[in-house]
Amino acid sequence: MNKAFYLETFGCQMNVVDSEQIMALLQGIGYSQVDSAEQADLVLLNTCSVRDKAERKVYGHLGRFKPIKDQRPGLIIGVGGCVAQQEGEKMLEKVPYLDLVFGTHNIHRLPQLVQQVEQNRQRASITNFQDRETRLNLFPERTFQETVTRFVTVMQGCDNFCSYCIVPHVRGREISRSSHEIITEVRGLVAQGVREVTLLGQNVNSYNLKDDKDISFAQLLQQVNAIDGLQRLRFATSHPKDLTEELIDCFGPLEKLCKHIHLPIQSGSDRILKLMNRGYTVNDYLKKVADLKKVCPEIRLTTDIIVGFPGETEEDFQATLDLVEQVGYVDAFTFLYSPRVETAAAKMLDDQSSVQKQQRFDRLLKLQQETSAAIWQTDAGQELSVLVEGESRQGDGQLFGRSTWNRIVNFRGSADLVGHTVTVKIAKVLRNSHIGELVEPR
Ligand code: SAH
Ligand code: SF4
Ligand code: F3S
């Protein structure tokens, strides 16, 4: 009999890619995917623990599955990802109806684990860190989805230990995949119809920095750029301290490299950056931004900012506002600081009230929204290159794609344009997307 799984994914793009692997592995043992837990024999959550809210969400979601399991005791419920990695066996104690806990380095062992639980109905938890040989090379091919744009993992893990961050604790140390494997994967994707890849890693530009047995990240970009049939290339996320001159220079000659970089600053105050253990100063950062703009004047930046780090003063916060104004980010992901277990910042004195933090957060958000709107507005009336990703869900003859700045553009056109780069004249700028008209090739 055919078995069914239901999978929910939280967190960052790493988890999105891991979930693609999970889907492929489960299909390999006879499971097909369904879109509700009620129809499933196996329910899995791929989780995130970067902030407390994300972690609590997991327990909330698990609670939703309990009544289903009460009715159908044969249902298997499992948790993977970063909360699973952090909590391990403790999760089985906390959630009595949970069957399976698998960590971030154990995805390739999932089929075996699921089969074990199916057969002997014993609860299982596996969260040990694995080395690269037993992990990265075992990943199955992801051939089940036809899409124009895909993520390709080039490195995993993090060695930076920013003082607020749980990621190094739940993802382990940095490891880079061999360039040969990456190029082979991208070539394979292009042969299947993929036209854009985003090279992915917690700190993608730390690729191979630890040892130089393989090529540099800039060289990897050059090699991917040279792959026939690929139209666009992106990468995320970059750490400012590892943004090398060689990498900055790629934004000039590499014609497939999109003119956008996500470069998290976190704070505009040197004092806070030091407490955060970020490894750069505001001046170091601004110098790199200036170099990027010199090589590629049209480049647009996005960033991440944490508000309310322990000990942040009004002066520190004002420095962040000043920096945001100076750089002119086209978008920023802003977060309220959330203390995380095992991190250094969790032990620092945090004496601001939550009201004060929220007020700062709102001020930053307002500034950023105004900046974003003003920059996106400059696209109005412009003819932009758009890689067409698909037909809009409404099914009203609309297509959608993205500009080089990763902005969604909706416009009317025929479905055979999917996978092609077209010129679209921007007619209207909305809050999160553009509406445009196809410019017929002359
Ligand atoms: N590797 C990436 C980011 C990973 S986490 C980098 O170094 O830039 C994504 C973002 O979550 C971070 O950039 C940071 O802004 C935010 N973040 C991480 N830990 C946090 C915490 N404890 N509280 C609030 N925000 C946090
Ligand atoms: Fe977290 Fe810092 Fe590593 Fe990014 S670089 S994942 S913020 S520890
Ligand atoms: Fe969250 Fe883990 Fe990504 S903590 S942000 S899913 S690496």
Centre of ligand 3 from the C-alpha of residue 396, in Å: 36
Give the residue carrying structure tokens 């393989």.
214
* The pLDDT of residue 133 is above 50: no
Work out the average pLDDT over 99-111: 94
12 touches ligand 3 (CB under 6 Å): yes
Exposure string over 363-380, b if 16+ CB within 10 A, otherwise e:
ebeebbeebbeebbeebe
* The pLDDT of residue 139 is above 60: no
Q: Indicate the pLDDT class of residue 397, thresholds 50, 70 and 90.
A: confident
Q: Indicate the pLDDT class of residue 12, thresholds 50, 70 and 90.
A: very high
Q: Which of 8, 10, 12, 104 to mutate to test the pocket of ligand 3 (most atoms within 8 A of CB)?
A: 12
Q: Which pLDDT score is estimated for 210? A: 84
Q: Which pLDDT score is estimated for 138? A: 47
82 touches ligand 3 (CB under 6 Å): yes
Amino acid, res. 218 = A
Work out the average pLDDT over 67-92: 96
167 touches ligand 1 (CB under 6 Å): yes
Work out the average pLDDT over 124-150: 70
Helix (H, G, I), strand (E, B) or coil at 319: helix
Q: Indicate the pLDDT class of residue 143, thresholds 50, 70 and 90.
A: low
Q: Which pLDDT score is estimated for 77? A: 98
Q: Which pLDDT score is estimated for 394? A: 73
150 touches ligand 3 (CB under 6 Å): no
Centre of ligand 3 from the C-alpha of residue 43, in Å: 20
Exposure string over 106-143, b if 16+ CB within 10 A, otherwise e:
bbbbbbebbeebeeeeebbbbbeebeeeebbeebbebe
Work out the average pLDDT over 339-368: 96
Residue-averaged pLDDT of the chain? 94
Work out the average pLDDT over 80-101: 96
400 touches ligand 1 (CB under 6 Å): no
199 touches ligand 2 (CB under 6 Å): no
Residue of 38, 34, 22, 20 whose CA lies nearest to 114: 22
Centre of ligand 3 from the C-alpha of residue 61, in Å: 17
Q: Which pLDDT score is estimated for 145? A: 63
338 touches ligand 1 (CB under 6 Å): yes
Q: Indicate the pLDDT class of residue 212, thresholds 50, 70 and 90.
A: confident
Sort 207 into a burial class: Cβ within 10 Å, 0-12 / 13-18 / 19+. buried
Intra-chain end-to-end CA distance of the chain, in Å: 56
pLDDT tens digits for 237-286?
999 999 999 999 999 999 999 999 999 999 999 999 999 999 999 999 99
Q: Which of 46, 47, 48 to mutate to test the pocket of ligand 3 (most atoms within 8 A of CB)?
A: 48
162 touches ligand 2 (CB under 6 Å): yes
239 touches ligand 1 (CB under 6 Å): yes
pLDDT tens digits for 15-48?
999 999 999 999 999 999 999 999 999 999 999 9
Q: Which pLDDT score is estimated for 73? A: 93
Q: Which pLDDT score is estimated for 137? A: 52
Which ligand 3 atom sits nearest the alpha carbon of residue 14? 3
Q: Which pLDDT score is estimated for 418? A: 95
Q: Which of 48, 50, 203 to mutate to test the pocket of ligand 1 (most atoms within 8 A of CB)?
A: 50
Residue 402 CA to residue 400 CA, distance in Å, equals 7
For atom 5 of ligand 2, the residue with the nearest CA is 160
Work out the average pLDDT over 393-404: 89
Q: Which domains does the chain have, with CATH numbers?
A: 3-132 (3.40.50.12160), 144-258 (3.30.750.210), 262-377 (3.30.750.200), 383-440 (2.40.50.140)
348 touches ligand 1 (CB under 6 Å): no
Which ligand 2 atom sits nearest the alpha carbon of residue 161? 8
- Residue 65's alpha-carbon distances to 23, 55, 102, 124, 403, in angstroms, are 20, 17, 18, 18, 40
Residue 14 CA to residue 162 CA, distance in Å, equals 18
Q: Which pLDDT score is estimated for 379? A: 98
